[in-house]
């Protein structure tokens, strides 16, 4: 599918979501004009021609590689000056929204979408932020599964957000609707810009607000779970992988009680928004879990960035970071167990997410597991 056809397909899905629930669209003879912006050779953004609608959303986006950040700033500047189509690779697209069949004769609110298109893959989705063209304020967020496997992720996120709402965790998106068996969801907008790559006390304060439960586990129990998975799925791993995981899992010892807690699951800068100088919150809860383990989110925070951007060994950073020590102290666990919690993240993320070494992040995780097994 070429980029223009892909954009038209996504716009059709997005506008259907809007029209089914809120009658956002005008009559079918009205044309909408969009720009398509590529990223790494793929369709990345579909933005309205009028920068007044697109800029508020795009300004919240934050590329983390220096060259990407410079290019992004140039795109925003040219977009604000209505010169976006002068950039090579950016094309203009005319789109006629599907006609709604509502009998409502009241004037319809013509909300305008700004659409982010996820990285191609089995879990690809599109995320549209709808803007009120009168006020320029974002109204809601619509997520649409572009691949079949993405439906499971969107459904999991929607159900988790409903459960988290029961615990009054501040700053969390609220689900407005789940449609088409989970292939489409609508949720509230969370204001704020994406955070930097640096871990701050605001991150720790937010993690400490996530509920902990009476249900507990132990390192001994977790070791048994891991060894059980290895025994059942031997053919899924290479001999080196099995040996490394087995060696490292033997270090998981202890009968001390560890509380289960809610984890975000993809606790990374691109999923975190800064509300104020002292407060952050998280979006995109597709990898969240009610039966999470302490230090999981912080381990992911350091590991995923080391994988994507390089830098020092993530375990070294975790072990030496005073904010990680503060987190462990605040939840009442032993500082000497940091290595074991980190080990649990590496192993369970590798064997429990279907990553394996065929996935680039899976290959990174098994490399970290192998390094620890040699220490």
Query: In this prediction, what percent of the chain has a pLDDT beyond 90?
Result: 63
* Nearest 10 degrees: Cα torsion 142, 117, 7, 176: 0
Say yes or no to pLDDT of 28 above 60.
no
pLDDT band at residue 353 using 50, 70 and 90 as cut-offs = low
Question: Residue 142 contacts by C-beta under 8 Å, 6 or more apart in sequence?
Answer: 14, 17, 18, 113, 127, 128, 130, 184, 185, 186
**pLDDT tens track for 113-168:** 999 999 898 889 999 999 988 888 899 999 999 998 899 999 999 999 999 999 88
- DSSP per-residue letters across 100-130: P-----SPP---EEEEEEPPSSTT-EEEEEE
Reported pTM: 0.89
Supply the pLDDT for residue 356: 57
Q: Tell me how crowded residue 18 is: count the other CB atoms within 10 A of its CB.
A: 23
Is the dihedral angle over the CA atoms 125, 131, 136, 137 positive or is it negative? negative
Q: Are 293 and 346 in contact (CB under 8 A)?
A: no
CB 204 within 8 A of CB 323: yes
pLDDT at 102 over 80: no
What average pLDDT does the chain have?
88
CA dihedral (341, 346, 350, 355) positive or negative: positive
Which of 186, 32, 10, 27 has its CA nearest to residue 101? 27
Contacting residues for 4 by C-beta, under 8 A, at least 6 apart: 36, 91, 93
Q: Which domains does the chain have, with CATH numbers?
A: 3-190 (no CATH), 194-373 (3.90.1200)
Task: Evaluate the CA torsion angle 77, 81, 83, 89 in order and state its sign.
Answer: positive
Q: How confident is the model at residue 357 (pLDDT cuts 50, 70, 90)?
A: low
Per-residue buried b or exposed e for 87-108, using 16+ beta carbons within 10 Å of the residue's own CB:
beebeebebebeebeeeeeeeb
Among 29-38, 109-118, 196-205, 337-346, the minimum mean pLDDT is found in 29-38
| Beta carbons of 126 and 118 less than 8 angstroms apart | yes
Packing angle between helix 296-309 and helix 360-373, nearest 10 degrees? 110
C-alpha–C-alpha distance, residues 166 and 214, integer Å: 16
pLDDT of residue 339: 95
Q: Which DSSP category does 237 fall into?
A: S
Tokens matching residue 330: 């605040």
- Residue-level pLDDT at 177: 92
In the chain, the N- to C-terminal Cα span, in Å, equals 48
Report the alpha-carbon distance of residue 138 to residue 283 in Å, rounded. Answer: 15
pLDDT digits (tens, 9 = 90+) for 142-154: 999 999 889 999 9
Please choose, from the candidates 7, 9, 77, 63, the residue with its C-alpha nearest in 3D space to the C-alpha of residue 35: 7
pLDDT in tens, 298-345: 999 999 999 999 988 999 999 999 999 999 999 999 999 999 999 999
């Amino acid at each position: 599918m070429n980029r223009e056809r892909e954009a038209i397909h996504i716009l059709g899905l997005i506008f259907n979501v809007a029209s089914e629930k809120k009658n956002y669209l005008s009559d079918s003879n009205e044309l909408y004009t969009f720009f398509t912006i590529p990223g790494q050779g793929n369709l990345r953004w579909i933005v309205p021609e009028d920068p007044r609608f697109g800029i508020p959303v795009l300004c919240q986006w934050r590329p983390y590689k220096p060259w990407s950040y410079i290019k992004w700033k140039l795109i925003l500047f040219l977009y604000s000056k209505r010169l976006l189509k002068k950039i090579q690779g950016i094309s203009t697209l005319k789109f006629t929204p599907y006609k709604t069949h509502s009998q409502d004769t009241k004037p319809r609110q013509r909300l305008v979408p700004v659409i982010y298109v996820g990285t191609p893959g089995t879990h690809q989705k599109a995320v549209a932020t709808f803007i009120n063209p009168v006020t320029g304020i974002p109204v809601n967020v619509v997520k649409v599964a572009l691949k079949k496997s993405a439906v499971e992720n969107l459904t999991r996120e929607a159900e988790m957000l409903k459960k988290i709402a029961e615990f009054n965790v501040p700053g969390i998106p609220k689900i407005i609707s789940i449609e088409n068996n989970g292939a489409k969801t609508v949720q509230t907008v969370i204001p704020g810009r994406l955070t930097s790559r640096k871990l701050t006390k605001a991150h720790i304060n937010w993690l400490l607000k996530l509920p902990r439960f009476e249900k507990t586990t132990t390192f001994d129990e977790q070791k048994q779970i891991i060894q059980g998975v290895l025994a059942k799925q031997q053919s899924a791993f290479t001999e080196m992988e099995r040996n490394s995981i087995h060696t490292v899992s033997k270090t998981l010892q202890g009968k001390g009680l560890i509380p289960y807690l809610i984890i975000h699951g993809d606790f990374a800068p691109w999923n975190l928004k800064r509300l104020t100088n002292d407060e952050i919150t998280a979006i995109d809860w597709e990898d969240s879990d009610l039966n999470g383990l302490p230090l999981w989110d912080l381990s992911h925070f350091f590991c995923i960035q080391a994988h994507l951007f390089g830098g020092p060994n993530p375990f070294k950073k975790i072990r030496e970071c005073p904010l990680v020590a503060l987190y462990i102290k605040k939840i009442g666990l032993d500082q000497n167990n940091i290595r074991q919690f980190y080990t649990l993240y590496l192993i369970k993320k590798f064997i429990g997410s279907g990553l394996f070494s065929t996935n680039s992040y899976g290959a990174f995780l098994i490399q970290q597991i192998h390094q620890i097994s040699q220490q």
